[in-house]
Amino acid sequence: MDQHWPWWPLLPLYPYGRRRTLVRELIAGQVWSFEQLQGIFYVAVPIRMTVVRLKQGLLLYAPVAATQDLLAELRQLEILHGPVCSIVLATSSGLEHKLPLPALARAFPQAQVWVSPGQWSFPLNLPLSWLGFPSGRTHTLFVDGLPHSDELAWESLGPVDLGLGRFQEISCLHRASGSLLLTDALVAIGAEPPELFDADPTPLLFHARERGDEPLIDSPEQRRKGWQRLVLFASYFRPASLEVVPLSQVWSQAFRPGLRTAKSYFGLYPFRWQSGWEQAFSALLAGGQPKLQLAPVLERLVFPRHRGVLLEWLRRLARLQGIRQVIGAHYLAPLACTGADFGRLASELEARPWAPSGDDWATLSAIDDRLLRWGLVPGTVAETATTNPNKKIP
Ligand SMILES: [Fe+2]
């Protein structure tokens, strides 16, 4: 049952069958980034797998789709640095990182697979082997041990009870390069669109328009504008400056001459951006530069009642020796930082109002309220900082 579970047709993931992989060497001879675009319709954001050279060979952290291009690049690295020996899924909930794992594991049948504790699937909580994870060589981090612990330091964020399942993420410090590998926990957002969009900027140009009947115009300004709006979508789902246009109006602007192509979605564009979106984007940076931060979606939907768990994890990272950069699975990487930056972030998060509900946060807050009302997420929580990665989640 671990063969070819047909995942991909189930989700309308952009860019469908035309997935391109951008490979960058982040730390010479030690760490590489493999980036692909992933998203629903044209809300496409880059997703990254990080490859680390260890004594035994290569470790793959946060899988991406095992395309022919990606496998060819990995085979080249194997020739130079040794075989892929470990594949790590370090999140219990992040579906976009979980779905690519079975195919990647099949491509490297000698590699050991390590997953975060508490894996779950929705709507049916299926065993990992049913989802295509190889049963004979899949291990659970912390429960079955920790791989390469002479070269890597593993730290657990959570677990946090989400009701349907858990959020848990295992960060990994590669001591030799000082690289802290993360999945979703923290992000660093750049003002300019990632290089990955160079080959096809359509998702950016799509969102750079003011109305559905505008043509897609390619220019550096339009790409930047589209990128910044995409980030706002991904960060807040519906930021305050985004008006959703009534269907009748959307329809009246669609299907006009020049728009009758799938690329411009036939002119169907149900959004109108109000003034203020630029300021909302600027707030996600620090003086125009990327900053280490918790994504708003995580603050409002995962940690609204668990700030203590997050702060405790940040302070544990602050005590780790030798962090020189962070490499997350989304957005910009690497971001130069030290352990002190994690301590500072913890203090900042502790000092400001937590999980706000107004302005840009209103939609996220409404989702959380609804989940609470329906009893799908636990309401009151004893705020105990968790240092036990195997803690039982009811
Ligand atoms: Fe993710």
pLDDT band at 12 (very low <50, low <70, confident <90, very high): very low
- Ligand 1 mean position, distance from CA 222 (Å): 26
The predicted-structure confidence for 176-206, as pLDDT tens digits, reads as follows 999 999 999 999 999 999 999 998 898 899 8
Residue 239: name the closest of 79, 43, 1, 104 by CA: 43
Instruction: Evaluate if residue 300 carries a pLDDT over 50.
Output: yes
Collapsing DSSP to helix, strand or coil, 329 comes out as coil
Rg of the chain taking only CA atoms, in angstroms = 21
Average pLDDT of the chain, as a whole number: 87
- Listed ranges 77-91, 263-277, 359-373; the one with the highest mean pLDDT: 77-91
User: Over pLDDT 90: what percentage of the chain?
Assistant: 63
Q: What average pLDDT score do residues 294-310 get?
A: 93
pLDDT band at 379 (very low <50, low <70, confident <90, very high): confident
- Ligand 1 mean position, distance from CA 13 (Å): 14
Q: How far is C-alpha 270 from the chain's CA centre?
A: 25
- Ligand 1 mean position, distance from CA 77 (Å): 25
Pairing of strands 325-327, 186-187: unpaired
Instruction: Evaluate if residue 251 carries a pLDDT over 70.
Output: no
Q: What average pLDDT score do residues 313-332 get?
A: 97
- Ligand 1 mean position, distance from CA 91 (Å): 9
- Ligand 1 mean position, distance from CA 246 (Å): 31
The predicted-structure confidence for 210-227, as pLDDT tens digits, reads as follows 877 778 889 999 999 999
CB-neighbour burial class of residue 352 (10 A; exposed 0-12, middle 13-18, buried 19+): exposed
- Ligand 1 mean position, distance from CA 103 (Å): 18
- Ligand 1 mean position, distance from CA 45 (Å): 10
The predicted-structure confidence for 74-89, as pLDDT tens digits, reads as follows 999 999 999 999 999 9
pLDDT band at 233 (very low <50, low <70, confident <90, very high): confident
- Ligand 1 mean position, distance from CA 294 (Å): 13
Q: Which spans in the chain are helix H?
A: 68-81, 95-98, 101-107, 202-207, 220-236, 247-253, 277-282, 296-301, 307-319, 339-351, 362-373
Instruction: Evaluate if residue 4 carries a pLDDT over 70.
Output: no
- Ligand 1 mean position, distance from CA 169 (Å): 11
Q: Which of 147-156, 238-247, 361-370 has the lowest mean pLDDT?
A: 238-247
pLDDT for the residue numbered 245: 66
**Domains of the chain with CATH codes:** 8-188+293-345 (3.60.15.10), 195-282 (no CATH)
Question: Token pair of 394, please?
Answer: 């009811």
- Ligand 1 mean position, distance from CA 329 (Å): 6
Q: What average pLDDT score do residues 288-295 get?
A: 96
pLDDT for the residue numbered 6: 35
Collapsing DSSP to helix, strand or coil, 186 comes out as strand
Q: What average pLDDT score do residues 374-389 get?
A: 65
Question: Do 330 and 48 contact (CB within 8 A), yes or no?
Answer: yes
Q: What average pLDDT score do residues 26-38 get?
A: 96
- Ligand 1 mean position, distance from CA 331 (Å): 10
- Ligand 1 mean position, distance from CA 98 (Å): 9
Identity at 262, one-letter amino acid code: A
- Ligand 1 mean position, distance from CA 353 (Å): 25
Contacts of 43 by beta carbon, 8 Å cutoff, 6+ apart: 14, 203, 230, 233, 234
- Ligand 1 mean position, distance from CA 93 (Å): 9
pLDDT for the residue numbered 44: 80
- Ligand 1 mean position, distance from CA 175 (Å): 24
pLDDT band at 256 (very low <50, low <70, confident <90, very high): low
pLDDT band at 128 (very low <50, low <70, confident <90, very high): confident
- Ligand 1 mean position, distance from CA 95 (Å): 7
- Ligand 1 mean position, distance from CA 369 (Å): 23
pLDDT band at 393 (very low <50, low <70, confident <90, very high): low
